[in-house]
Amino acid sequence: MNNENGTLFAPSSGRTKEREKRRSPWWEVWRRLRRNKAAVAGMSVVILLVVVAVLAPVLAPYDPNQTNIKMRLQGPSSEHPLGTDNFGRDMLSRIIYGSRISLYVGFVAVGIGAVFGGILGAIGGYYGGRLDNFIMRCMDVLLAIPQIILAIAIVGALGTSLLNLMIAVGISQLPRYARVVRASALTVRGQEYVEAARAVGASDARIILENILPNCMAPIIVQSTLGVAQAILSAAALSFLGLGIQPPTAEWGSMLSSGRQFLRNAPYLTFFPGLAISVVVLALNIFGDGLRDSLDPKLRQ
Amino acid sequence: MNGPLLEVADLNVIYKTYEGTVAAVNGVEFSLEAGRTLGLVGESGAGKTTTALSIMGLVPSPPGIITSGSVNFAGKNLLSLSEKEMKKIRGNHISMIFQDPMTSLNPVVTVGVQISEALVAHQNLSEAEAEKKAMEMLEKVQIPGQRYREYPHEFSGGMRQRVVIAMALACNPGLIIADEPTTALDVTIQAQVLELMRSLKEEFSTAMIMITHDLGVVGEVCDHVAVMYAGRIVETGSLEQIFGNARHPYTLGLFRCIPDIEEETSKIRPIEGLMPDPLDLPSGCPFHPRCPQCMDLCRTVVPGVLDDGGHRVMCHLYGKGGAVHG
Amino acid sequence: MADLIKVENLVKYFPVAAGNVHAVDDVSFAIKEGETLGLVGESGCGKSTTGRLLIRLIEATSGRILYRGRDIASADKKTLHDMRKEMQIIFQDPFSSLDPRKSIGETIGKPLEIFGMGSKREREEMVDALMEKVGLSPRLFYKYPHELDGGRRQRVGIARALSLSPSFIVCDEPVSALDVSIQAQILNLLQELQETMKLTYLFVSHDLSVVKHISNRIAVMYLGKIVESSPSLELFSNTLHPYSQALLAAVPIPKLDRKRERFILSGGVPSPINPPSGCRFHTRCPWKMDICSREEPPLTDRGGGHFVACHKVK
């Protein structure tokens, strides 16, 4: 170890197979994250929910759309742990199936926002000047409109469907990704390794994709975890307003919305979907916070 | 005053990090007479700054822990003082000059106010008296007194470092610790600042610890030199002893790997190998993996200190061996 | 040996709100093949900008850069891309010059990939060979920059610069961020590589002793202009320009008996936005005469390739 720099022409000690093993920077992030108990708890809840969503057909005791008028508006019981709704459908099964839609909408909408926002931000930050100004002013326009109203307008224009809902939520989230990525792209652009890449003849597209974006991943990831929570809330809100998922599909927002009429005699119809939303949002937020801390290079060492 | 102004004995400081325990300072011992200047030389990670922070009671904790040792300043063990008592000493009896004058000055406060702050806090001067004194201090560092009301950004780098020096000297402290005070400056400005420090040191008869990686700077301002490596002082003595008759292989290596500007030499001889990993210091003498004269003994036993008329060397080539602090 | 690179009347102004920063102002020099030109000066004198202009990392305001007789200052994109194989740069900061998200192997192999050299497997072998050439064990192929110390990071930067087998390398303060003992290792490495690979260097540094050690010729810059340029040893034995003398005298020397006299300049470097009229050094010059603030002294040969721009030097 000590002598490997000693002589210029070091004995040819190793060929490809003797290389020390790959240990990516993410491994270190994971190590730091592991120490943050709250973040690990948040992450576990999120993973648990994803597992529940994937295994919904196995876990759900009943068919979520099976109506049974005789059993309508039953309180929680051993047969129906979370009770039944006004059509006699099992609430537990509906919430389990609802997690599929909510998580799906959350992740896809964030994916749309992060990918397009990230690219726009990276381009703006890397080139600067007029192009940057143009992109960022467009983002400002989007930001000036309240997110939910923007999403309503987009769904209104495109029509109500699951895909349009995700696009609407994604677009309404675009500016924040563009902004955080642009901010870090501005710092990365000034780094010598970007200059080095230009000196070895890398094209702008290559620099943006290979140097700028990977080095902006930390803020994108943090924004994304917080964004998923927001997207789920937005989707729930749109569904609540009748612009998102249409009945009878089980979705937490629309369940909340339809349970509202029975708030007095069957509060559990709104309580459980609301609780589910809160748990996901809280878990994602705690996880996102922890992730931000462990991704912060200033805390290294 | 009897005895030295500052006496550091068996100082050990560790940093607890996620990766493990960093032994930053390992049994550092030195003393400094009033009015003298000690150059603390070493490369990055040698423990120079941690030693200075220990004297100031500013080792960041966590992760830093002073595990043992004493720092006697004017008869008091600073390590046993409370934070409140230390506050009375910092800036008043001991002050510090940092490397980067850009970040060690508050950008939104005028330089005058920053200098007089210490005077108001420690010397019970009224605002008006402090202002007058601060202006005098500015003049002392060759900045016109009327620039009292200007902000740090209105000064050049060299001027800012002079302001920092004026701040450090304001309360006429017994000891100044200067941590790489000229590293951020250009050579011609460095020469100006070193010249100023040399003359002020005499005028105020302040003792100084000059932390630097540059042996040339040591040669310009110091009377004594302590060479640090891997948290230990490996050689110490007067300027003449170290510059004229260096004995430790590391010290010799340091001198050899600086290209000589006055003589004609075609090749410089670097110290081979890498800086030691602070998480995993070598056994025995910390320098042994890079030492050209390494013996079997060096790998296992920490060398003792040989004292030859104040010229102390920690090396098996000169000592009889045996661990002293190990 | 012929001139590998020749710079004629190179000018770079950076427009700012208050006017133009005269970063490089009418600079001309030449570097012979296989030689090293040391460019020294204090911060803001335009030495790093000059280095970057030469390999067109930034575009010159005006002037010509001749590489083997071809003007590259006006070369089109395609030609410029091909020139990248010929001219490379080693950066000052081994921390910011390596992408933290790329392994050492990826960083060194990237230029080869960009120029489509060999298969992936062949490229990996080339990277191994490059790593050995700069004294890095190929074991470190998958390591990330943060896992290495400064000296080894700088070796990675050197390997990257060497990967396309260039003829000319701009070394932008390649050792000033390193510890002294490591500095010497890197300097020796650069010298050995120069011999074995017939490299030509432009060595930019603020450290006179380092520049003296590695250069055949030295040019001293002050506020965007070359004030003195001469063969390396001549500059130290027969320093003519007062600024060079001050610079030399200001270097602290780790010796008990310093031979040189103290010569401390007053004041700081004036703003490059509105540089002083006439000789740019006249505001700090101890020999200042009337003519100095009016007329700019030309850079003239005083014999033996020793050029000085000073009215006083006859």
What pLDDT, in 10s, does the model give residues A173-203? 899 899 999 999 999 998 999 999 999 999 9
Q: Assess whether the previous peptide bond of C174 is cis (omega < 30° from 0).
A: no
Tell which residue, B282, B281, B293, B210, has the closest CA to residue B251.
B293
The mean pLDDT value of chain C amounts to 91
Can you tell me the mean pLDDT for A46-65? 87
Cα separation of B148 and B115, whole Å?
9
How would residue C252 be classed by pLDDT, with cut points 50, 70 and 90? Answer: confident
How would residue A234 be classed by pLDDT, with cut points 50, 70 and 90? Answer: confident
Residues 44-73 of A with CB under 8 A from C: none
**Better pLDDT: C153 or A293:** C153
Cα separation of C238 and C233, whole Å?
8
Cα separation of A151 and C279, whole Å?
65
Contact A211 C99 (CB under 8 A): yes
- pLDDT for the residue C66: 94
Buried b (16+ CB within 10 A) or exposed e, B63-100: ebebeebebbbbeeebbebeeeeeeebbbbbbbbbbbb
Nearest CA in chain B to A4: B273
Cα separation of C63 and A27, whole Å?
50
* A149 Cβ under 8 Å from any chain C Cβ: no
Best mutation target, B163, B258, B290, to test chain C (most C CBs within 10 A): B258
Phi-psi region of A187 (alpha: psi -120 to 50; beta: other; left: phi over 0): alpha
Tell which residue, A123, A36, A73, has the closest CA to residue A263.
A73
What is the torsion angle, in degrees rounded to the nearest 10, for the CA atoms of residue C75, residue C79, residue C84 and residue C85? -140
Per the DSSP assignment, residues forming a β-bridge with C172 are C204
**What ipTM was assigned to the predicted interfaces of this complex?**
0.86
Q: Determine what percent of chain B is predicted with pLDDT higher than 70.
A: 96
Contact A20 C143 (CB under 8 A): yes
Q: Determine what percent of chain A is predicted with pLDDT higher than 90.
A: 25
* B260 Cβ under 8 Å from any chain A Cβ: no
* B248 Cβ under 8 Å from any chain A Cβ: no
How would residue A11 be classed by pLDDT, with cut points 50, 70 and 90? Answer: very low
Contact C254 B268 (CB under 8 A): no
DSSP letter string over C65-121? EEETTEE-TT--HHHHHHHTTTEEEE-S-TTTTS-TTS-HHHHHHHHHHHTT-S-HH
Cα separation of C266 and B48, whole Å?
31
- pLDDT for the residue A291: 83
DSSP element (H, E) containing C21: strand C19-32
Which two tokens mark C37? Answer: 């030109």
Can you tell me the mean pLDDT for B301-309? 89
Cα separation of C299 and C271, whole Å?
22
- pLDDT for the residue C180: 87
Nearest CA in chain A to B271: A6
**pLDDT digits over C216-229, tens only?**
999 999 999 999 99
- pLDDT for the residue B2: 61
Residue A7 has pLDDT above 60, yes or no: no
Tell which residue, B282, C133, C156, has the closest CA to residue C148.
C156
Residues 137-156 of C with CB under 8 A from A: 137-144, 146-147, 151-152, 155
**pLDDT digits over A138-181, tens only?**
999 988 988 888 888 888 888 888 888 888 889 988 998 999 99
Nearest CA in chain B to A301: B17
3-state secondary structure of B35: coil
Tell which residue, A176, A177, A159, has the closest CA to residue A168.
A159
- pLDDT for the residue A69: 78
- A-chain residues near C52 (CB < 8 A): 195
Give backbone dihedrals phi and psi of B323, rounded to 5 degrees, phi first: -75, 135
CA A199 vs. chain centroid, Å, equals: 37
Lowest mean pLDDT among B29-33, B111-115, C144-148: C144-148
The answer to whether B305 touches B234, Cβ cutoff 8 Å, is no
Cα separation of A247 and A52, whole Å?
22
Contact A16 C133 (CB under 8 A): no
Can you tell me the mean pLDDT for A242-270? 81
**pLDDT digits over B243-256, tens only?**
999 999 999 999 98
- pLDDT for the residue A155: 86
The answer to whether B98 touches B53, Cβ cutoff 8 Å, is no
How would residue B320 be classed by pLDDT, with cut points 50, 70 and 90? Answer: low
Cα separation of C158 and C169, whole Å?
10
Looking only at Cα atoms, what is the longest distance across chain A? 87
Looking at residue C283, its amino acid is T
Nearest-CA distance A257 → chain C (Å): 46
- pLDDT for the residue C168: 96
Neighbours of A163 (CB within 10 A): 11
Tell which residue, A102, A243, A238, has the closest CA to residue A159.
A243
- B-chain residues near A5 (CB < 8 A): 272-274
Lowest mean pLDDT among A57-61, A280-284, C195-199: A57-61
**pLDDT digits over C44-86, tens only?**
899 999 999 999 999 999 999 999 988 988 888 898 998 899 9
